[in-house]
Amino acid sequence: MAPPSVLAEIATEQQKVTAEIRELDLLVESTQTEVNRLKSREDQMKAKVEEVRRNPGNFQREEIFGATDEHAAAMARRMTMEGQLNSLQSKRKLIDRSAQILATAQRQLAEYTAPPLPPDTAPLIDESRLLQAVVDTQEEERKRIARQVHDGPAQAMANVVLQSEISERLFDVDAQKSRGELASLRQMVNKTLQELRGFIFELRPMILDDLGLVPTLRRYVQTLIDKHGVRIDFSSTGRDRRLPSDDEVAIFRLIQDSLVERIDKAQAKDIVLGLQWKEDTLDVLLQSDGKELPPDGELQSGIRRSERLELLHGESTHEARADGNVVLKVKIPIRSAPQLVT
């Protein structure tokens, strides 16, 4: 049997996990109730908008604008609350995994007497697997948010366009002026839609699954240039190729987080990003001006760079040069993506 102190420590952790599960269950229940209430409110507003669409002549201008605005606001509140609900549910699943691991560890330690383990024996609780579970949960949450933003705000913008068309038919007093205002409104909506597409891309770039790492990074780099007005010199040398999906996602997130860190936290304006594909490794170079930051601080995603690299079995070096540039070099062992047999 394991030492009593070890069993007591596991029991204490189990109590903490049980208490957290109980608290999460209460939060999930109350949040689900609020989501249901907001969904009912959204349905009411949607019915009102549909009524306005069918009979625009029966409503005043303020009523038309008010109905669509209220529907968009109700949809936004419902989506925000659903995001909180899904986040709580994802956390609940992750804690369930931890509880199962603790229960298994306690049972095995209580039932078996094991000889001293060699120094290189893997730990009973595989921290890398637990970290991978966290990353997987985050990626699922990103996918969900991307889908919701696409279906929600994008639909709301389409409603605004429809609203403008209804208003255009009603404004007979000064047709020229009303058409000019509506043209400006359409331009604003188109701009918002472009920004929304950029937001969706940052959450989960779908072309990563379709085209791979290099095309996705090219587009993401251009997005950062347009958004922040920075200079980014991106290059890829060697024979780039498709990697397993998990590796492509992890490498993209590592580079994404590192770029955002240099731009947002270090106020970098001049950045060089280079990929060098070798037979068995991918070398990444990120050089920029700006402030020097801790080499392994918490990144935008909430995960440290060393933790990202641990998942990829990679390594990195960090150097602050005398000329004011900061250089990050990363070396990642790469595997080929599995080939489909046809």
Average pLDDT, the chain: 79
Please tell me the predicted confidence (pLDDT) of residue 130: 62
Q: Which of 34-38, 102-106, 254-258, 329-333 has the lowest mean pLDDT?
A: 102-106
pLDDT in tens, 49-79: 888 777 877 877 677 777 777 877 778 778 7
**Residue 158 pLDDT grade (very low, low, confident, very high; cuts 50, 70, 90):** low
**Inter-CA distances, 287 with 132, 275, 292, 301, Å:** 28, 12, 12, 21
pLDDT in tens, 163-206: 676 666 666 666 776 677 677 777 777 777 776 777 677 667 88
Amino acid, single-letter form, for residue 94: L
Pick the CATH number of 208-333 from 1.10.1060.10, 3.90.1150.10, 3.30.565.10, 3.60.20.40: 3.30.565.10
Residue with the two structure tokens 């980014």: 232
> Structural domain boundaries of the chain?
4-113+126-203, 208-333
φ, ψ of residue 212 to 5 degrees: the values are: 105, -170
Within 13 Å and on the Cβ side, how many CA atoms surround 323? 5
Q: Which residue has the higher pLDDT, 238 or 126?
A: 238
Mean pLDDT over 253-269 rounds to: 92
**How many percent of the chain have pLDDT more than 90?**
24
- Return d(Cα 315, Cα 330) in angstroms, integer: 6
**How many percent of the chain have pLDDT more than 70?**
73
pLDDT in tens, 274-320: 999 999 999 999 999 998 888 887 776 667 888 888 888 999 999 99
Please tell me the predicted confidence (pLDDT) of residue 135: 67
pLDDT of 114 strictly over 60: no
Query: Would residue 226 be called left, alpha or beta, if left means φ above 0 and alpha means ψ between -120 and 50 degrees?
Result: alpha
Q: In three state form, how does the secondary structure of the chain look?
A: CCCHHHHHHHHHHHHHHHHHHHHHHHHHHHHHHHHHHHHHHHHHHHHHHHHHHHCHHHCCHHHHHHHHHHHHHHHHHHHHHHHHHHHHHHHHHHHHHHHHHHHHHHHHHHHCCCCCCCCCCCCCCCHHHHHHHHHHHHHHHHHHHHHHHHHCHHHHHHHHHHHHHHHHHHCCCCHHHHHHHHHHHHHHHHHHHHHHHHHHHHHCCCHHHHHCHHHHHHHHHHHHHHHHCCEEEEEEECCCCCCCHHHHHHHHHHHHHHHHHHHHHCCCCEEEEEEEECCCEEEEEEEECCCCCCCCCECCCCCEHHHHHHHHCCEEEEEECCCCCEEEEEEEECCCCCCCCC
CA nearest to 228, candidates 198, 255, 205:
198
Please tell me the predicted confidence (pLDDT) of residue 213: 94
- Return d(Cα 139, Cα 208) in angstroms, integer: 13
Mean pLDDT over 12-36 rounds to: 82
Please tell me the predicted confidence (pLDDT) of residue 258: 93
